[in-house]
Amino acid sequence: WGALGHQTIGFVAQEFLAPNAAAFVQKHLNSTFNHSLGTAATWADDVKGETAFKWSANLHFVDAEDSAPDSCSVEEERDCSTNICILAAIANYTARVVDTSLNSEQTFEALAFIDHFLGDIGQPLHVEAVAAGGNDISAVCGGSKTNLHATWDTGMVTKHVSLSHGGTSQSYAADLVQEIKTGSFSSLTSSWLECSSTTETLSQSGLQRRFEQRSPETPTIPRRGLVEVSGLPFVPSDTVGNLGNGLKPKQSGGIKRDINKILQLSKRAGGFDDSTIVPLECPLVWARETNAFDCTVVFDFEQGQDLCTGTYFNNAIPVIDLQLAKQGFRLAAWLNVLFDGET
């Protein structure tokens, strides 16, 4: 999501915090963020372009290697084997936000990342590999040329909020909160919290499905798997470029530079390629629910069609309302479980 979507999610969450969670937020989000999950929700996007936080850029999504729009699925082993994805990021920062051995800056980062990633995991194109989450599919929104991903992150949200919800994240959040408390969403909230354990691991849950091993005689490098390069530690395959096409590393001219790049990236990845991150059940449950929209509304359009009007827009808006309200409510519930022991 863009800033408007993320802030809306944060402002929705702010309305449902239990006392200890509210106090934790008040304490760890300083006045720069108005002590609010709404204002702090964009911090993760604001820093991801900075050198010091480059390692976090790929934590905003999971490239689910399904066959959308024909077949939708998210699998932890297939899609997040490096732990460099939003599923593992939520597990990581959920453990860190309650780790009292961390300093106040680290605790702030953990809270701000949770604030942001519980939003992004509700955006259908943040849980989809096709065309880099739709970034490589051109689209038209309101007469302007853009791409499918940006149309979902910002284009449709901006138009919808300006047409129907007062034009700001605060006014949109207030409308969604109303729907949650007494309107059309009130009958759904208990189902939204069906998964709400912050500690239940994926392996405990029984949701994990072993991915079939590829036959050894056709060794292809999975897009998001791990490959071994001439005795170096395992590195993410998407940093290796075309090394997988039967080329021995020494036959490749640019290999020395590539390896330096890989080593730098590995270092910057901080704890994220670390096997100490234990996948949780709930992020996968949420991601699968979100990813299902990639097999319904998301890709249902013709080349050149304006997506920010007519049938496509009318079908997408209920999904956007639902996903923003639901992830805001889940964000509050997640913090309530962590700090108040309840949802």
**Contact footprint for Zn ion (CB under 5 A):** 45, 60, 120, 153
Least distance in angstroms from the C-beta of 181 to ligand DCM: 29
Query: In terms of CB distance, is 134 or 185 closer to ligand DCM?
Result: 134
User: At closest approach, how far in Å is the CB of 328 from ligand DCM?
Assistant: 18
> Is residue 104 part of the contact set for ligand DCM (CB under 6 A)?
yes
Strand, helix or coil at 219? coil
Site string for ligand DCM, 114-153 (x = CB under 6 A): -----------xx-----xx-x-------------x---x
Window 27 to 66, contacts with ligand DCM (CB under 6 A)? 60-61, 63
- Considering CB distances under 5 to 8 angstroms, the limit depending on partner class, which of Zn ion, ligand DCM, none binds residue 175? none
Instruction: Give 15 or 153: the residue with its C-beta nearer to Zn ion.
Output: 153
The reply to whether 271 sits near ligand DCM by the rule CB under 6 A is yes
Choice from 254, 270, 310, 318 touching ligand DCM (CB under 6 A): 270
Q: Does 273 bind ligand DCM (CB under 6 A)?
A: no
Distance CA 327, CA 148 (A): 21
- Return the sign of the alpha-carbon dihedral for residues 17, 19, 21, 24: positive
Q: From the CB of 118, what's the least distance to Zn ion, in Å?
A: 11
Whole-Å CA distances, 101 to 22, 104, 152, 275, 340: 21, 10, 39, 20, 20
Q: Which of the 8 DSSP states describes residue 32?
A: G
Q: How far is the CB of 25 from ligand DCM (least distance, A)?
A: 11
Q: How far is the CB of 130 from Zn ion (least distance, A)?
A: 14
Assign residue 206 a region: left if phi > 0, alpha if psi is -120 to 50, beta otherwise?
left
CA distances for 84 relative to 42, 48, 79, 237, 323, angstroms:
20, 14, 10, 11, 23
How is the chain split among helix, strand and coil, in percent rounded to 5? Answer: 55, 5, 40
Closer to ligand DCM at the Cβ: 54 or 159? 54
Q: What span, in angstroms and rounded, lies between the C-alpha atoms of 193 and 42?
A: 24
258 neighbors 243 (Cβ within 8 angstroms): yes
Q: Measured from the CB atom, is 6 or 96 closer to Zn ion?
A: 6
Element (H, E) at 235: strand 235-236
Candidate list 32, 71, 100, 187; residue touching ligand DCM; CB under 6 A: 100
Question: If you write DSSP's letter for every residue of 85-120 in order, what string do you get?
Answer: SHHHHHHHHHHHHT-TTS-HHHHHHHHHHHHHHHHH
Q: Which residues sit at the interface with ligand DCM, rule CB under 6 A?
A: 60-61, 63, 92, 98, 100, 103-104, 107, 125-126, 132-133, 135, 149, 153, 270-271
